[in-house]
Every structure is written in C-alpha cells, then in structure tokens.
Amino acid sequence: MEFNDFRVHLQWPFAGVKKEAGRSWVTLGDGVHTFIAGDRSHPNTKEIYEKLSVLIQKIRSAGYVPMTEFALYDLEEENKEELLNYHSEKLTVAFVLTRSSSGVPIRIMKNLRVCGDCHTAFRYISHAIGRQIILRDAIRFHHFEDGKCSCGDYW
C-alpha cells in the first residue's frame, strides 16, 4: 500500500461527515424566523446587526466580557470576540428586539446546547433590557431574568 492509498483509507470513515449547524429560531405573529451564526440572509439584517451592536455595547458596559474559549477557531482574540457576537441566539434576540419593546417574555428555541459565552451574555441581556428571556436549548429550558438563569448557571 502506498502512502496516498493509506491516507485515503484513513479518511474514508469520515468523508462527508459534517457537524450540524447551530440554529436558533423564534415564532412571531408573521411566522418562524431562523438564524445561524453570522447569518446575513434575513431581510432585516441591517437592523438586526445594528441592534445587536448596541446591545453588545450595553452589556459590555455592565461588565460582560466575551468568553473567547468558546470560539472554537484558531483566531486572534479580537476575531474570536467578533465571532462570538454573531452566534445564532444573539442574532435572534436582537431580531426580536427590533420587532417588539413590550415586557412580554422573549422565547427562543435552539437545536444545540447554548455555549457558555451566550449563556453569560443572556444573563446580562435579560438585566439590560428588563425582560425575561426563555431559551430552550438541546438540554433544558433556561429562564433568564434580571441577570440570573433558572439553571443556576449549571448549563
């Protein structure tokens, strides 16, 4: 067996295997809105990213520090922070905030487990916006309210 044959043989079991993309979605009166990390396909992308920028600035001034260990790419620290800013659940909450300003709880669904950075960010966001956020991830419901989560940070 030649080296190239061996290499192909080693790759075979993993060929075509892809990780499921993290998705978050919310149901509003006009239907279901779904987001993936870094998503720019939504018709309201400009508004969503502007709202998210303001929200990130607000929670940073309240003490939030991005947990870059949850950025799984080998990037510079600044790029990791930017990558974390655009996780699907953060885009989803920003979208909801462009659509409503009432005290009604925000309900978001997620197909994977929420990362530690987003969990921490949502604690800060719930306090900053004065609203309850209910996030259902693949493991449990998280009820964020006034800077606390119902899971006791045992996410």
Is 140 inside a domain boundary?
yes
Is 2 inside a domain boundary?
no
Predicted local confidence at residue 1, as pLDDT: 42
Task: Provide the pairing of β-strand 141-145 with 23-28.
Answer: unpaired
Predicted local confidence at residue 127, as pLDDT: 97
Is 115 inside a domain boundary?
yes
pTM of the model: 0.82
Per DSSP, the three-state class of 91 is: helix
- Are the C-beta atoms of residues 29 and 23 closer than 8 Å to each other? no
Is 145 inside a domain boundary?
yes
Taking CA atoms, 119 is separated from 94, 99, 124, 137, 152, in Å, by 15, 22, 9, 11, 11
Is 10 inside a domain boundary?
no
Predicted local confidence at residue 27, as pLDDT: 95
Number of structural domains found in the chain: 1
- What is the residue range of 114's domain? 20-149
φ, ψ for residue 60, nearest 5 deg: -65, -40
The one-letter amino acid code at 32 reads V
pLDDT along the chain (155 residues), means of 10: 43 61 92 93 96 97 82 58 85 95 91 92 96 96 97 82
